């Protein structure tokens, strides 16, 4: 980060953590970024290094092998990683803000003892809510769970599941009693090796291409009764509360992505000359750059505010929706404007701005679309 914009808002230990993750991203991720994006595949050695760095169990207590850090630190890790590659950042994001958060809040001691050490050491997690007919209407689930004497049987399909290509543990939402509507929804912990479970088609995406997004197929999948996350029929609460937190992580991803794009563009504007002087010397360009920097800073402060509120146990749902809304829209504007400023260079893959531009698009879609954020904000303001 050329001007350390984020660091002025952080405590000393947070600054050190942010810089450590950023340096790791520059050293380990940057050399692999272009190849991983082209191949649409995460480098296995890089994945291993994420655990070695402690980035895949930030909030897991030390007794289960984690770093025992804070939710805010998870958001900082996502932001710092996104400055280099948002695809790697979303792997860290889903693991920490969705999967681990859900287990810490809703998991029994037995679940925590069994799964948190694995997640902290080597297992990747995934969060499986969406279906072909269940996107923004998240609880219109067709996936069903039938109770047996000593286990559950799950049948159905899930779509657009982040991390599914490499994950070993999946939080799968299914309805045990469709007549009860959303009160029948239950969260189950499904291991990759469970009978009747398989990972299907991998999506070929516009952006964050190295991050796997796949279909899940459950065909008479046997899940132990001990693997119910929370209680039977409260899966909707597990989903809502976890996604409220996850949206802050997406906001951090968009802020980091936009910062990385803006930093690269700043260097280009200082070096590229037209009409005998650097582009950065033209007032029209300066004003465009200043506008982008101001919107980015406002988005960062919204994300940090939501993360601090959540961390201190205060109400944060509206603030999380605001943070995701404005940061995702900002990231699209900033990356598009940066691409324009680079002209023809911005449109070719030799330069990273086109990847930042492609990666930014997902921010207004996953973990709640723009319209869903507006709905949340409006309901909380107007009742």
pLDDT in tens, 40-50: 999 999 999 99
Top pLDDT among 138 and 331 is at 331
Residues 187-214 have pLDDT tens digits of 999 999 999 999 999 999 999 999 999 9
Task: Report how far residue 240's alpha carbon sits from residue 127's, in angstroms, rounded to the nearest whole number.
Answer: 12
CATH class of the domain at 6-124: mainly alpha
pTM score:
0.96
Assign 218 a pLDDT band (cuts: 50, 70, 90): very high
Q: Give me the chain's average pLDDT, please.
A: 96
283-311 vs 71-82: helix crossing angle, rounded to 10: 150
Question: Where in the chain do CATH 2.40.110.10 domains reside?
Answer: 126-233
The confidence score (pLDDT) of residue 6 equals: 72
Catalytic residues: 367
C-alpha torsion sign, points 290, 294, 297, 303:
negative
Rounded mean pLDDT, 62-68: 98
Residues 146-194 have pLDDT tens digits of 999 999 999 999 999 999 999 999 999 999 999 999 999 999 999 999 9
Question: Where in the chain do CATH 1.10.540.10 domains reside?
Answer: 6-124
- pLDDT higher than threshold 60 for residue 92: yes
The confidence score (pLDDT) of residue 231 equals: 96
Quick check: 155 and 131 in contact, CB under 8 A? no
Quick check: 281 and 359 in contact, CB under 8 A? no
The confidence score (pLDDT) of residue 8 equals: 84
126-233 topology per CATH: Butyryl-CoA Dehydrogenase, subunit A; domain 2 (2.40.110)
The confidence score (pLDDT) of residue 139 equals: 82
Assign 5 a pLDDT band (cuts: 50, 70, 90): low
Nearest to 197 by CA among 259, 126, 135: 126
Output the CA–CA distances (angstroms, integers) from residue 367 to 228, 244, 346, in the order listed: 22, 9, 29
Q: How many other CB atoms sit within 10 Å of the CB of residue 327?
A: 31
Task: Report how far residue 119's alpha carbon sits from residue 39's, in angstroms, rounded to the nearest whole number.
Answer: 26
Question: Where in the chain do CATH 1.20.140.10 domains reside?
Answer: 237-382
Task: Report how far residue 273's alpha carbon sits from residue 70's, in angstroms, rounded to the nearest whole number.
Answer: 45
Q: Which CATH number fits domain 237-382: 1.10.287.3510, 3.90.79.10, 1.20.140.10, 1.10.10.10?
A: 1.20.140.10
Assign 4 a pLDDT band (cuts: 50, 70, 90): low
- pLDDT higher than threshold 60 for residue 1: no
């Amino acid at each position: 980060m050329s001007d350390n914009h984020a660091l002025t808002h952080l405590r000393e230990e947070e600054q050190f953590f942010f810089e450590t993750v950023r340096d790791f991203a520059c050293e380990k991720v940057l050399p692999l970024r272009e190849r991983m994006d082209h191949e649409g595949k995460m480098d296995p050695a890089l994945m291993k290094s994420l655990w070695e760095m402690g980035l895949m169990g930030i909030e897991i207590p030390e007794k289960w092998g984690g770093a025992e850090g804070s939710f805010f630190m998870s958001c900082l890790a996502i932001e710092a990683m996104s400055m280099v590659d948002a695809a790697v950042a979303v792997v860290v994001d889903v693991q920490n803000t969705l999967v681990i958060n859900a287990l810490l809040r809703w998991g029994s001691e037995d679940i925590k003892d069994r799964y948190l050490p694995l997640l902290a050491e080597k297992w990747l997690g995934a969060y499986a809510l969406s279906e072909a007919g269940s996107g923004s209407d998240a609880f219109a689930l067709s996936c069903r769970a039938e109770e047996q004497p000593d286990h559950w049987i799950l049948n159905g399909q899930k779509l657009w599941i982040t991390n599914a290509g490499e994950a070993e543990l999946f939080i799968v939402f299914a309805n045990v009693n469709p007549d009860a509507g959303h009160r029948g929804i239950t969260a189950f912990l499904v291991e990759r090796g469970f009978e009747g479970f398989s990972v299907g088609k991998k999506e070929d995406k516009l952006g964050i291409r190295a991050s796997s997004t796949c279909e899940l197929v459950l065909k008479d999948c046997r899940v132990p009764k001990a693997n119910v996350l929370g209680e039977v029929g409260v899966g909707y609460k597990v989903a809502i509360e976890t996604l409220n937190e996850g949206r802050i992580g997406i906001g951090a991803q968009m802020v980091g992505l936009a910062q990385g794009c803006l930093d690269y563009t700043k260097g280009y504007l200082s070096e590229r000359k037209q009409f005998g002087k650097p582009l950065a010397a033209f007032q029209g360009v300066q004003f465009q750059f200043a506008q982008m920097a101001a919107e980015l800073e406002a988005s960062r402060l919204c994300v940090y505010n939501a993360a601090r509120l959540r961390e201190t146990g205060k109400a944060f749902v509206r603030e999380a929706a605001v943070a995701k809304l404005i940061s995702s829209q900002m990231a699209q504007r900033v990356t598009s404007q940066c691409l324009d400023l680079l002209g023809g260079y911005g449109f070719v893959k030799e330069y990273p701005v086109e990847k930042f531009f492609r990666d930014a698009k997902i921010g207004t879609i996953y973990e709640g679309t723009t319209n869903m954020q507006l709905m949340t904000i409006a309901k909380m303001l107007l009742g």
